[in-house]
Amino acid sequence: MALMSVSSAYAKPADHEQADAQALDLAKQAIALRSVRGPDNQAPRVAALFKSALVAGGFNDADVTITPVDDTAFLIARWKGRDPGLKPLVISGHMDVVEARPSDWERDPFTPVIENGLLYGRGASDMKLDDALAVAALIELKREKYQPRRDIVLAFSGDEETTMKTTGMLAGQLSNAEMVLNIDGTDGLLDPEGKPQYFNWSGAEKTYADFELTVTSPGGHSSRPYDPNAITQLAAALVRIGHYKFEPELSELTRAYFSAAARYESPEIAAAMRAFAANPADSRAIDVLRANPATIGKIGTTCVATMINGGHALNALPQRATANINCRIFPGHPRTQIMQELERVAADPAVHFKDVTVGGVATEASPIRPDLVEAITKAIHIGYPGVPVFPTMSAGASDSMWFRNQHIPSYGVSPLFIKDSDRFSHGLNERVPVADVRPSLAYMLSMLIDLSK
Ligand SMILES: [Zn+2]
């Protein structure tokens, strides 16, 4: 093996077989525990499983706490660093999964199965393998007598897929964190042949909002119509909102994304991405990116009508009409600002607006930190040499929202690579390639060391 130059202790992912095996074993055990919200939620048992592995692996029992909350629980495991003056590095994950009905699946969702190199089961990709990899990596570092300079804190929530109550509590308890690595998801892309294409880490996400619009009217007999009619009035406001376009926006993060992602797109989209990154007022580029569902959300706030309800009888004038406008807000704007903008567009004081958003908080983008970018790039290249690594902004909400809301930089950095055709998180026959385990474990070790040493 004279050709292999070993520049760091972790240049050879094959060196951690015991940890690789433990990660896969813990993932399978966690998948078998049905941690779905509601009666018999086994999220607390997932927490107990991880705690017993951590304690057996050298963590102090008192440093791994499980806090029950309603039918779920959250877990905090703290590895004390040598320098108590430094802020902790937090690894964020969640232990709950989305419901899965066995009758709809080809295999039982709560019986882990490995077939054709894929681990199947609810939570395989979202995100019990990621959790298990983090636990196994921490145990491996203990085994190797590693001593972090700053505290490393594992923070696993128990209701990310539903109310996010435990994440809010975790973010409150860990508000002094230096940064949060959120290892939820599958951030690497494999092409249809299984060749790694690129790795996307996430430094921001759109803010979710629901606004309820209501128009009321005295009603009456439909044979005696008068103006205004509540349904017509609401409909007219909805049409105005439907035609409205929010000002396009470009951030440090989306500029980096468009510049790097353009090479994977068709010539027309690629040209628009590059033109928009250079000038966010380029109207031709804006038209192209707006017409493409994959990019429209990345160039600004979008709001769209998602539900409508009105009237109470076929032969009566409506006394009430309501609609829901769902918004995905570009990072940096509070919900109130967007609601006021929609009120101006509706341009009818009879249309009453109400913010009915449940469980969401507004966030700003986290900065592109050089120490983070360097650590991610190095860690990904251990298992996937030369693969492009660049940032993105996520469309959906994750646990990162709660940390960013506390002004803690938080980054979506799951090391798992997957084909688009295998992406079934929240869906049927969820799966993840078993071949991901080895490079992902090496990635976790490298990240944990580089950001805590
Ligand atoms: Zn998830």
Distance CA(420)–CA(112), nearest Å, equals: 21
What pLDDT does residue 185 have?
A: 82
Write the CA distances from 109 to 28, 425, 435, integer angstroms: 11, 12, 20
**Which residue in this structure is represented by tokens 């390639």?**
433
Give me the phi and psi of 116, to 5 degrees please. Answer: 50, 40
How far is ligand 1, taken at its centre, from the CA of residue 161, in Å?
A: 7
Write the CA distances from 237 to 214, 227, 339, 355, 426, integer angstroms: 10, 15, 14, 17, 35
8 Å CB contact between 288 and 269: yes
**Structure tokens of 445?**
């070790």
What pLDDT does residue 13 have?
A: 53
Distance CA(291)–CA(109), nearest Å, equals: 37
Provide the residues around ligand 1 (an ion) whose CB is within 5 A: 126-127, 184
How far is ligand 1, taken at its centre, from the CA of residue 289, in Å?
A: 27
Distance CA(91)–CA(77), nearest Å, equals: 10
What pLDDT does residue 397 have?
A: 82
Q: CB-based contacts of 266: which residues, under 8 Å, 6+ apart?
A: none
How far is ligand 1, taken at its centre, from the CA of residue 94, in Å?
A: 7
Distance CA(74)–CA(67), nearest Å, equals: 5
pLDDT tens for 155-164 read 999 999 998 9
Q: CB-based contacts of 91: which residues, under 8 Å, 6+ apart?
A: 134, 152, 153, 154, 155, 180, 181, 183, 448
User: What string of pLDDT tens digits covers the 453 residues of the chain?
Assistant: 334 444 444 345 558 999 999 999 999 999 999 999 999 999 999 999 999 999 999 999 999 999 999 999 999 999 999 999 999 999 999 999 999 999 989 899 999 999 999 999 999 999 999 999 999 999 999 999 999 999 999 999 999 999 899 999 999 999 999 999 999 988 999 999 999 999 999 999 999 999 999 999 999 999 999 999 999 999 999 999 999 999 999 999 999 999 999 999 999 999 999 999 999 999 999 999 999 999 999 999 999 999 999 999 999 999 999 999 999 999 999 999 999 999 999 999 999 999 999 878 888 999 999 999 999 999 999 999 999 999 999 988 889 999 999 999 999 999 999 999 888 877 889 999 999 999 999 999 999 999 999
What pLDDT does residue 14 have?
A: 54
How far is ligand 1, taken at its centre, from the CA of residue 117, in Å?
A: 22
How far is ligand 1, taken at its centre, from the CA of residue 333, in Å?
A: 24
DSSP one-letter string for 365-386 = PPP--HHHHHHHHHHHHHHSTT
**Structure tokens of 209?**
């909002």
Q: Which residues pair with 223 in a beta bridge?
A: none
**Structure tokens of 213?**
């619009």
**HSE toward the beta carbon, residue 443, CA cutoff 13 A:** 26
DSSP 388: -
How far is ligand 1, taken at its centre, from the CA of residue 226, in Å?
A: 51
Stated pTM of the model:
0.90
How far is ligand 1, taken at its centre, from the CA of residue 74, in Å?
A: 15
DSSP one-letter string for 207-257 = EEEEEEEEEE---EETTS--SPPHHHHHHHHHHHHHH--PPP---HHHHHH
Distance CA(42)–CA(71), nearest Å, equals: 8
How far is ligand 1, taken at its centre, from the CA of residue 427, in Å?
A: 12
410-412 and 179-182: which strand pairing? parallel
